[in-house]
Amino acid sequence: MLRILDARTGEPVPAAPARRGLTRIEAHASGLDPTALRVLLTADLLVRALELGGTPVWTILTAPRDLPELRTAGTRLAIRPFEDGRDLASGLGEAQVLHVAEGGAAMRAEGPVAAVAPVVREDPQPPLAVLLTDPAALRLALLSVPRNRPARLDGAALDRAAGQLADWRRAVAGWARQPSRPVPEQVRNRLRDAWEDDLDLPGVLAVLRDVADAPDLPDGARFETYAYVDRLLALDLARDLGAPA
């Protein structure tokens, strides 16, 4: 079961109701900036993780300004669309409400909160348009840092993420040429243990690296593992299937 550390109490809480009723995830963004995108990304990961566990999810986004621009930037970052904040009173009868917010704003929410640390500002701060030049690399760079720790989006971090993505996509395209094999149960369990532990995405990425390097794992199983976990990561890891070797 996915559990989230509640920023208000410091205690882990279930992210889904016991009977798998509807969960509402409410993202609170300050405006159009990298930290706000990190808030949206965390909410998106919660949605994907809950849906992989069979929990229906309804998501809303509230922001005091730049809401249309924030939605557009989120779409480029492969973040699923949010409902409008005004739909809060639609009466869908959700059984659980989770909030995703930055720092101090997290403490003002009524209900469990997944707090997000800020994106550290560089001097000068790269424009958001520059950060979104390679949205998948930006997404991976943010996934590589625990959400409760500040993330530094400098050129080196984005270059590392872009290089890792290129390596993984090339490897996935090669593995896809071999007969398919199921995801090994121990690998599936490691992946779920990681993301169900307060959305430990760096832990998920570490499992992927281990799978790529495991000497006795069939390539078909590597491919199915990466395809499976990309339902959560949304990094388009199978993008290069069919490309020349």
pLDDT along the chain (245 residues), means of 10: 92 83 90 93 97 91 90 95 64 75 72 91 71 93 95 90 97 96 97 96 98 96 98 96 75
pTM, rounded to two decimals? 0.92
**pLDDT for res 89:** 44
**Please, which residues have CB within 8 angstroms of residue 20's CB and are 6 or more apart in sequence?**
54, 55, 56
Domains defined for the chain, CATH in brackets? 3-123 (3.40.50)
Dist CA 64 CA 30 (whole Å): 6
**pLDDT for res 234:** 98
**pLDDT for res 245:** 62
Is residue 47 packed enough to be buried (19+ CB in 10 Å), middle (13-18) or exposed (0-12)?
Answer: buried
